[in-house]
Amino acid sequence: MGYGHLDRPAQFLKGVGPKRADLLKKLSIGTARDLLHHLPRRYDDASTITPIAGLDSGMEVTVRGRVRSCGVIQTRSSLRVFQAVLQDESGMITCAWPGQPWLERKIREGDQLLATGTVRFYHGRQLHPREFSLLARKGRRGDAEEGTPEGTIFVSYPATEELPQWILRRIYEENLDWLLEHAPEEEYLPDTLRERLGLVGLGEAFRRLHRPTSLEEPEEGRRRLAFDELFFLQLVQGLVRHRESVREPGIEHRRTNRIVKPLHDALPFALTGAQARVLREILDDMTSTRRMNRFLQGDVGSGKTLVALFAMAVAVEGGHQAALMAPTELLAEQHALRLRERFEPLEVPVALLTGSVTGRAREELLEGLREGRTPLVVGTHALIQEGVDFARLGLVVVDEQHRFGVRQRMALGEGRRGPKPDVLIMSATPIPRSLALVLYGELDLSILDELPPGRSPVRTLLRRPADRAEIHAGIERELAAGRQAYLVYPLVEESEKVDLRAATGEFERLRDEVFPGRRLGLLHGQLPSEEKDRVMRAFRDGELDLLVATTVIEVGIDVPNATVMVIEHAERFGLSQLHQLRGRVGRGAERAWCVLVSELAGAARERLEIFAGTTDGFEIAREDLRIRGQGDLFGDRQHGRDPHLRFADLARDEELVLMARDLARTVVDRDPELERSEHAPLRELLETRHAERFRMWKVG
C-alpha cells in the first residue's frame, strides 16, 4: 500500500488549494481519507416533494421548481436578502435567504431548484430554505427539465463559518467519484467474510454515507465503519493481551477441595446459576497456566463477594496467598468481617491491613505475609505500599475497580520474579456489555446477571417538593420502628459552595425542627476523611438514625437496618448514580423504600419513571448510556481510556462490538504476531492508519 491515494493531502484535491486546505484542517481534514471519514451531521429526505400550492405557514417541506426571477433586496434593517421566486405546476412561492446576498452568484433565473425549509408568513407565504440543491440549469445542454429529484437525499456536514456547507458540498461533489474509486484500496475483509458478517464493502460504505439514495443507506455505511473502529480497537487489545500472557505466565492453581468443599457445605443456600457459571470461568483461568485478568461485574447484592471468596479458597488450598483490596477502611473492615465468618471455622486466619494498623501489630502482620504464615489478607491501599511483601501471592481481588487506577491494580504482585498472581476485579457499577468490552478489552469479562432468590425489590416512589411533609412523616414512621434512613442532596461542582450551604442549612432545620428527637448525622465531601469515616461508622453501628449526605454514600457499605433512601433534586443525578444510591437500602429482611424528590417535568420525569420502573442495574446502565451518550461515559480520561469512537455508538452497537471481538479473537488466536500473508493488509493498516495503537502493541 505504502503512500496510498487516500494519503493525498487535501490541498491537492479538486477545488481545494492551500487556503481551503487550511480551513479544512479546522475540521480535522488533512487528507483525502479524512474527507471520506468526515461524518455527515444530518440527512434530509427530499423524496417527498410538496406541491407549492399546498404550502402553509409553519410547514416543513421540500419543494421543486423553476426560478422565475431572483435578486438581492435590501430590508429596512439593512439586511441583504437574496430572494428567488420558485414555480412548479401548481403555483409560486418566494424563497428568501436573509444575509446571503452571495447566492446571487449561484442561483440564476431558469434554474431548477430543490429546496428544503420552513414556510413562514411574511408579506405572503415565504420559504426559508435551510438546504437547497441546484438540479439543473438552462444552458449549453438545452433546457434540462429532466432533473429527477426522486430519492434525492440532502447530506449536511459539520461545517465552519469560513467553510460553509455549500463549499464543503461542492468539494464532495467534485471529489467523491475519485475518492470512492480508491476507498476499496484499504479493504482488509475478504468478500466472503464480509458478506457473512452482513457488512458492505468499504467503497460502498462511503458511497452510502456521502451519496445515499435512501434514508436507510447511511446507517449501513456507518455500521461498516463502526465495525472497523471496534475491530481495530479490540484487535490491538487482543494482541497486547496475548503478548502479556506469553511474557507473564500465570500460576497453575491446584485444587484439593480441602477448603472449598467444607466452605460450600456450610453455605445455607445454593449458588445462583450465574454464580456457578462465573465461578467456573474464574476457576478455569486460575487452574490454567495463563495469568487471570478478569473483570467481574454484577449488581449490588448479586453475590460477587461470595464468588471471590471461593476463588480465594482455591488459591489458599493450593498453597498460595490471596489478597482482597477495598477502596476504604470501612469497606475493608466489612469484607474482613465477612471473610472471617466463613474462613475462621475452617482455621484459615484472615488479616486486616489498613492505614490504622501501625507499630508492632503492623510489623507482625507484614512478617506473616512475608513468611507465608498468613494465607488471607484484606486491606486498603496500604496493601500496595512499600514494604508489603508476600511469600506466595497467588490471587489478588480488587473491589470497586473504578476507584483504583489501572496502575494501582497492577502494582500488587508486580516487581517480583516468577509467575504473577491472578487478578480478579469486581465492580458493582453495572455498565453495558458493549461499553465494558471496549473500555476493559484487555480483561476477560464475567457478568453476574441474576440476583439470589427471595429479595424483595426496593419500592421506588416519585414525589414533588411540595410533598415534603408526607415524606418526612414516612421517614419518621420507619425511625419509630427502629430503622434508619438516608437523605441525599446533590452537590454540583460549579455551585458547590451554594449547595453545601443549602444542605447544611437543611440539615440544621431537619435536626432542630423536623426530627428533634432523633440522632442526625451530616456527611459531605469537604469533611476530612477521618471525620467522614467516623460519621459512616456511627451510622453503621446504629448510633445515628438519619444520615444527611451530600456526597455519594460509601459505595458498597452495608447497613441492613437502613430502609429508606430519600433523594432530593433527583433529576440532577445520572441514572447509574441513582441506582448506586438506591442500592444502599434493601439489604436486610425489611421492606425498603426509595423516594425521588423532583419537580418532575417532561423528559426529566420520563427518565425518573424509567428508573422507578426497574431495579435491573444493567437495564438502567443501558438507558443511561442511551440518554447521556457515550461521551460522558468516557469521563475516565485519567485512566487513559478514551477510545476515540467516531462511528460506533455503544448504546446501539452491542452486536457489532461482539462481532468485531469475535473476529479480533480469531485473528489473534491464529496469528498473534500478524505474520501470515493473509494478514499483511491488516498489519499494514495497523502500522499506518493506527500507528498509535501499533506502537502500543509493539513497544507497550
Nearer to ligand ADP, 300 or 395 (CB): 300
In angstroms, give the least distance from the CB of 255 to Mg ion: 12
Kindly state whether residue 318 participates in binding Mg ion, applying the rule CB under 5 A: no
Using the contact rule CB under 5 A, the part of the chain among 126-134, 172-180, 246-254, 691-699 near Mg ion is 246-254
Pick what 272 binds: ligand ADP, Mg ion, none; C-beta below 5 to 8 Å, kind-dependent: ligand ADP
For residue 649, how many C-alpha atoms fall within 13 Å in the half-sphere facing its CB? 9
* CB 144, CB 138: distance < 8 Å: yes
* Secondary structure letter of residue 88 according to DSSP: -
To ligand ADP, the closest distance from the beta carbon of 662 in angstroms equals 29
Query: Residue 444 CB, nearest distance to Mg ion (Å)?
Result: 12
The minimum distance between CB 560 and ligand ADP, in angstroms, equals 9
If contact means CB under 5 to 8 A according to the sort of partner, which of Mg ion, ligand ADP, none does residue 221 touch?
none
Task: Tell me how far apart the alpha carbons of residues 311 and 302 are, in angstroms, rounded to a whole number.
Answer: 16
Instruction: Let me know: does 412 contact 381? Beta carbons within 8 Å.
Output: no
Footprint of Mg ion on 247-286 (CB under 5 A): 250, 286
Q: Which does 271 bind (CB under 5 to 8 A by kind): ligand ADP, Mg ion, none?
A: ligand ADP
Residue 540 site contact among Mg ion, ligand ADP, none (CB < 5 to 8 Å, cut-off depends on kind): none
CB of 396 to ligand ADP, least distance (A): 17
Q: Which does 183 bind (CB under 5 to 8 A by kind): Mg ion, ligand ADP, none?
A: none
- Name which of Mg ion, ligand ADP, none residue 250 binds, using a CB cut-off of 5 to 8 Å depending on partner kind: Mg ion
C-beta neighbour count of 444 within 10 angstroms: 17
Smallest separation (angstroms) from Mg ion to the CB of 259:
18
CB of 582 to ligand ADP, least distance (A): 13
Measured in whole angstroms, the distance separating CA 352 from the mean position of its chain's CA atoms is 35
382 binds, among Mg ion, ligand ADP, none (CB under 5 to 8 A by kind): none
CA pair distance 487, 518, nearest whole angstrom: 14
- Burial class of residue 640 in the structure, from the number of CB atoms within 10 Å of its CB (0-12 exposed, 13-18 middle, 19+ buried): exposed
Give, as one character, the DSSP assignment of residue 184.
G
Nearer to ligand ADP, 422 or 558 (CB): 558
Paired residues of 593 in beta bridges: 459, 564
Size of interface with Mg ion, in residues (CB under 5 A): 2
Instruction: Give the CB-side neighbour count of residue 176, counting CA atoms within 13 A.
Output: 18
Q: Which residues contact residue 497 at a Cβ distance below 8 angstroms, ignoring those fewer than 6 apart?
A: none
Cβ 567 to ligand ADP shortest distance, Å? 20
Rule CB under 5 A: which of 184-223 touch Mg ion?
none
In the complex, the smallest distance separating the C-beta of residue 44 from ligand ADP, rounded to whole angstroms, is 49
Question: N- to C-terminal Cα distance for the chain?
Answer: 25
Sign, Cα dihedral of 349, 353, 358, 359: positive
Residue 290 or 304: the one with the smaller Cβ distance to ligand ADP is 304
* Full 3-state SS string of 596-644: EECCCCHHHHHHHHHHHCCCCHHHHHHHHHHHHCHHHHCCCHHHCCCCC
Which of ligand ADP, Mg ion, none lies near 484, with the C-beta cut-off 5 to 8 A by kind? none
Copy the grid coordinates of residue 11.
Answer: 490541498
Binding site for ligand ADP (CB under 6 A): 269, 271-272, 275, 298, 300-306, 428, 452
Q: What is the DSSP letter of 420?
A: B
Among ligand ADP, Mg ion, none, residue 300 binds (CB under 5-8 Å by kind): ligand ADP
* Paired sense of beta strands 459-463 and 593-597, if any: parallel
Q: Which does 116 bind (CB under 5 to 8 A by kind): ligand ADP, Mg ion, none?
A: none
Region of residue 43 (phi > 0: left; psi between -120 and 50: alpha; otherwise: beta): beta
Q: Is the CB of 449 or the CB of 499 nearer to ligand ADP?
A: 449
**Run of H or E including 276:** helix 273-287
Q: Give the amino acid at 260.
A: V
Nearer to ligand ADP, 301 or 672 (CB): 301
User: For Mg ion, which is the closer residue by CB, 250 or 586?
Assistant: 250
| CB nearer to ligand ADP: pick between 302 and 380 | 302
Residue 67 or 412: the one with the smaller Cβ distance to Mg ion is: 412
Q: Which is nearer to ligand ADP, 237 or 401 (CB)?
A: 401
298 binds, among Mg ion, ligand ADP, none (CB under 5 to 8 A by kind): ligand ADP
List the one residue out of 33, 14, 35 whose CA is nearest residue 24.
35
Q: Report the alpha-carbon distance of residue 237 to residue 630 in Å, rounded.
A: 20
Q: Smallest distance from the beta carbon of 421 to Mg ion, in angstroms?
A: 9
Between 305 and 550, whose beta carbon lies closer to ligand ADP?
Answer: 305
SS3 content of the chain, % helix, strand, coil (to 5): 45, 20, 35
Q: How far is the CB of 403 from ligand ADP (least distance, A)?
A: 15
| 119 vs 451 by CB, closer to ligand ADP | 451
Min separation Cβ 229 and Mg ion, Å: 32
Contacts with Mg ion by CB under 5 A lie at: 250, 286
